[in-house]
Structure 1
Amino acid sequence: MSTNYHVAVVGATGAVGQQMLKTLEERDFPIASLKLLSSKRSAGKTITFKGKEYTVEEATPEAFEGVQVALFSAGGSVSKALAPEAVKRGAICVDNTSAFRMDPNVPLVVPEVNEAALHSHNGIIANPNCSTIQMVVALEPLRQQYGLKKVIVSTYQAVSGAGLNAINEMKDQTKAILDGAEVKAEILPCGSDKKHYQIAFNAIPQIDLFQDNGYTFEEMKMINETKKIMNMGDLEVAATCVRLPVETGHSESVYIETEKGGASVAEVKELLAASPGITLQDDPENQIYPMAAECVGKNDVFVGRVRHDLNRDNGYHMWIVSDNLLKGAAWNSVQIAESLVKLNLLK
């Protein structure tokens, strides 16, 4: 007999929260009861799920009474305040913020890569950064087969990763430029930084704040999260993260060096094509390769442009694309919840 679970979605009115609900519905996750939680400002709104109307409640510690699994996507401060409260009341929390990602007591999970890490949770499971998730899904089969020594990634990230206001600003700027009007920039590259630049018709080589080492916080997230997910503290990883005027879909140019050399491009492609969560789109002769516009609304990670490095036998280049709101956030969170069910980790 199948069991249904008491589920809460925190940040239910936000872009990722909405995608979480859509994904829960599409996957027909076994739900006995559903609580939609948000800020006091959004409480009272109604959202339809599986044909039934739900009223959004304010997220408070008491709201988690009776909840078994809580999906969080309402900002790091909310997660830090409320996830421990939810755990105290018996919930397992899947957190989509950066609040707990580098906590040594919290597993950082991408089910295609390290599902077994779920067994070591203490009530909170962290969902990695969107740009990290798609990269490690593509690299894990190669790591398993050939080993992995080095990763160098340049990202081409969509504005939806910075939220709905950033999308609207991009659209407003685009219209202003086309109309010959004044362009206003108030959000990107980072709302809390000193200067803001237009994203329309531009590429901004800054995502999040710069750290003392010259890398941005986003770049350090990719570096540190990749090492943690793959349990490889010595892995060499470097990242450059760039924001582009694309609404949805992160793209990445990735160079790797494997422990074992000698694998042909055909063998690498065959391995990728057979791996879970990956769709190989790689036919240069017919101009077939992954593109952000084509990945929207799809759960998989798309890989193409696989090439041998011209100088190193163990070096490979590839192009990795995924919907940052789905595999990069909502779908990975729901996948974790499905894995908890599969592994009998939900009481």
Structure 2
Amino acid sequence: MSYRVAVVGATGNVGREMLSTLAERAFPAHEVVALASERSIGAEVSFGESQTLKVENLATFDFRGTDIVLSSPGAKVSQVFSPKAAAAGAVVIDNTSYFRMDPDVPLVVPEVNPDALAGYRKRGIIANPNCSTIQMVVALKPLHDLARIRRVVVATYQSVSGAGKDAMDELFNQTRGIFVNEPAHRHQKKFTKQIAFNVIPHIDVFMEDGATKEEWKMAAETRKILDPDIKVIATCVRVPVFVGHAEAVTVEFERPITVEAAQAALREAPGVSVIDYRADEGYVTPVECVGEDAVYVSRLRKDPTVENGLSFWCVSDNLRKGAALNAVQIAEALVRANMLKAA
């Protein structure tokens, strides 16, 4: 059985990665449609190594007969078109923030909470979590099963690709400009401060309690996906890296847990790769995870400041596992569970 798949936002960073991932993993699709805004009509996007697709107009597209929609066009666009696609009979896997906290929309990471997929029938929509949340909960899940997590303190080091192509261009142009004595503000449009050779502790808007929306997302989404009783405090930082998010995570558990037991659980966990040697180069950095599917865990060690505490470092390609791959894995899980009917 094969399916008709539409990719919404096909010209963006995540949309292009979705197309690439569908092709790489040989998803059973007899037709793949690339959709974007009117200004992109007729543009060509790659699908696999040898195919190209012409972009069609999202605004006028008829979703009838489409089985699966992978959507990453921005929250305001998804607000309109994801329900429209679902009403036409498609299952929508939405990568934007708009539906994530909707109680009738499951928020899914297949390695963590695949049982939640059944809830998609209420709205016809499944939400993809935030990129920084995805990689963290993939690493936390086996540890939570082992000793039950009470509290998480996390600092993220998030690449500019998480803010889109314009953000990547801004980092490139500022970096180049600095070497020819151009002022950084000439190329400052996306970020609130210079991003080249700098770090910015500000992702998304500020909230009344002083946290940013990105930090709130990590806490709220982790509770929805993993366990509503877990306490999470996040500090989210944008760093001058093009692709790949990193996180320094400290976890407090309800029960005793050893480093050795944690390593063994992580090595057995789906989607996790443990690279942890207490020596030079015995860890993974963002540049090394680009193009890879796994969440890499390193620097696992005891936290002596709390009872039953561990700390670790994790990195992942935010455009793949943090977005496109997770969405495709959700579609694959629906197929395996016979939860889809081909149009």
Give the shorter-chain TM-score range. over 0.9
Paired letter, 2:163? A
State the match for 1:279 in structure 2: 273
Q: Does 1:220 align with 2:219?
A: no
- CA shift digits 1:186-242 (9 cap, x unpaired): 3343xxxxxx21100101010011001100000001110000001x22211100000
State the match for 1:344 in structure 2: 338
* Structure 1, 263-272 or 89-98: larger mean CA deviation: 263-272
Give the whole-Å Cα distance in 2 for the aligned partners of 1:45 and 1:205.
36
SS at match of 2:233: strand
State the match for 2:23 in structure 1: 25
Paired letter, 2:162? G
Shift of 1:312: 2.8
Q: Which runs of 4+ in 1 moved over 6 A?
A: none
State the match for 1:305 in structure 2: 299
State the match for 1:72 in structure 2: 71
- CA shift digits 1:124-177 (9 cap, x unpaired): 000000000000000000001111100010000000111111111111111111
The answer on whether the counterparts of 1:46 and 1:56 sit within 8 Å (CA) in structure 2 is yes
SS at match of 1:111: coil
State the match for 2:10 in structure 1: 12
- CA shift digits 1:73-101 (9 cap, x unpaired): 11111111011111111000000000100
Give the whole-Å Cα distance in 2 for the aligned partners of 1:188 and 1:208.
11
SS at match of 2:113: helix
Match of 1:241 among 224, 231, 236: 236
Give the whole-Å Cα distance in 1 for the aligned partners of 2:211 and 2:224.
18
Aligned residues: 337
Summarize the alignment of residues 1-347 of structure 1 with structure 2, pairs less than 5 Å apart.
Answer: 3-50=1-48, 51-60=50-59, 62-121=61-120, 122=122, 123-184=124-185, 185-189=187-191, 196-230=192-226, 232-261=227-256, 263-347=257-341
Give the whole-Å Cα distance in 1 for the aligned partners of 2:135 and 2:228.
19
Runs (5+) with no aligned partner, structure 2: none
Shift of 1:286: 4.4
Give the whole-Å Cα distance in 1 for the aligned partners of 2:71 and 2:282.
36
SS at match of 2:155: strand
Aligned-pair Cα RMSD in Å: 1.2
TM-score of the aligned structures, taking structure 1 as reference length: 0.95
Runs (5+) with no aligned partner, structure 1: 190-195
Give the whole-Å Cα distance in 1 for the aligned partners of 2:294 and 2:61.
36
The answer on whether the counterparts of 1:6 and 1:32 sit within 8 Å (CA) in structure 2 is yes
The answer on whether the counterparts of 2:16 and 2:46 sit within 8 Å (CA) in structure 1 is no
Shift of 1:259: 1.2
The answer on whether the counterparts of 1:160 and 1:247 sit within 8 Å (CA) in structure 2 is yes
The answer on whether the counterparts of 2:19 and 2:46 sit within 8 Å (CA) in structure 1 is no
Give the whole-Å Cα distance in 2 for the aligned partners of 1:57 and 1:202.
39
Shift of 1:278: 0.3
Give the whole-Å Cα distance in 2 for the aligned partners of 1:48 and 1:319.
34
